[in-house]
Amino acid sequence: MRLFISVVLAITGSVLAKDADCHFKLKESVALPRGWVKHGLPPADHNINLRIGLPQPNFKLLEQHLYEVSDPFHERYGQHLSKEEVEALVAPHQESLDSVDKWLASFGIGEGDAQRSPAKDWVKLRVPVALAEKMLNTTYYVWKHLESGDYLVRTTSYSLPVDVHAHVDVVQPTTMFGRFKGSKSTVVSIGDAPDAPKISTSTIDIGNGIMVDPSCNTTITVTCLEQLYNATSFQRQGKGTIGITGYLEQNANIQDLETFFAEQRPDAVGSNFTFISVAGGINNQSLAAAGDEANLDVQFAFGISHPVPATFYSTAGRPPFIPDVNTPTDTNEPYSDWLDFVLSHPNPPSAISTSYGDDEQTVPESFAKKACQGFAQLGARGVSLMFSSGDGGVGDNDPNPATQTCFTNDGRNVTRFIPGFPASCPFVTAVGGTTNVPEVAVSRFFSGGGFSDYFERPAYQDKVVQNYLNALPKGTYEGLFNPNGRAFPDVSAQSDRYRIWVGGRAILIGGTSASSPAFTGFVALLNDARLQKGLPPLGFLNPLFYSQAAGAFNDITVGHNSGCGTTGFNATKGWDPVTGLGTPNFGKLVAVVTAGKH
Residues labelled catalytic: 293, 297, 513
User: Is the CA virtual torsion 490, 491, 496, 498 positive or negative?
Assistant: negative
Cβ atoms within 10 Å of 579's Cβ, excluding its own: 36
The end-to-end CA distance of the chain, in Å, is 45
Compute, in degrees rounded to 10, the torsion defined by CA atoms 205, 496, 442, 428.
Answer: -100
Burial class (CB in 10 A: 0-12, 13-18, 19+), 337: buried
509 labeled binding residue? no
Nearest to 181 by CA among 352, 362, 443, 44: 362
> Is residue 437 a contact partner of residue 395, using CB atoms and an 8 Å limit?
no
Nearest to 123 by CA among 320, 370, 310, 293: 370
Strands (DSSP E) found in 279-409: 310-315, 351-354, 356-359, 384-388
Task: Report whether the peptide linkage leading into residue 161 is cis, meaning its omega lies within 30 degrees of zero.
Answer: no
Query: Facing residues of 546 across strands?
Result: none
Residue type, 370: K
CA distances in angstroms from 455 to 83, 419, 421, 427, listed in the order given = 25, 11, 10, 10
121 labeled binding residue? no
Burial class (CB in 10 A: 0-12, 13-18, 19+), 75: exposed
Separation between Cα atoms, residue 302 and residue 306, nearest integer Å = 6
Nearest to 399 by CA among 189, 568, 537: 568
163 labeled binding residue? no
163-174 residues labelled b (16+ CB within 10 A) or e (exposed) = ebeebbbbbbbb
Separation between Cα atoms, residue 568 and residue 449, nearest integer Å = 9
213 labeled binding residue? no
Separation between Cα atoms, residue 180 and residue 195, nearest integer Å = 34
> Is residue 39 a contact partner of residue 110, using CB atoms and an 8 Å limit?
no
Cβ atoms within 10 Å of 305's Cβ, excluding its own: 27
Which pairing describes strands 505-509 and 553-554: parallel, antiparallel, or unpaired? Answer: unpaired
Separation between Cα atoms, residue 140 and residue 44, nearest integer Å = 10
Q: CB neighbours of 361 closer than 8 A, spacing ≥ 6?
A: 33, 408, 409, 410, 418, 419, 453
Cβ atoms within 10 Å of 76's Cβ, excluding its own: 13
Q: Residues forming the annotated binding site for Ca(2+)?
A: 555-556, 574, 576
Q: Residues forming the annotated binding site?
A: 555-556, 574, 576
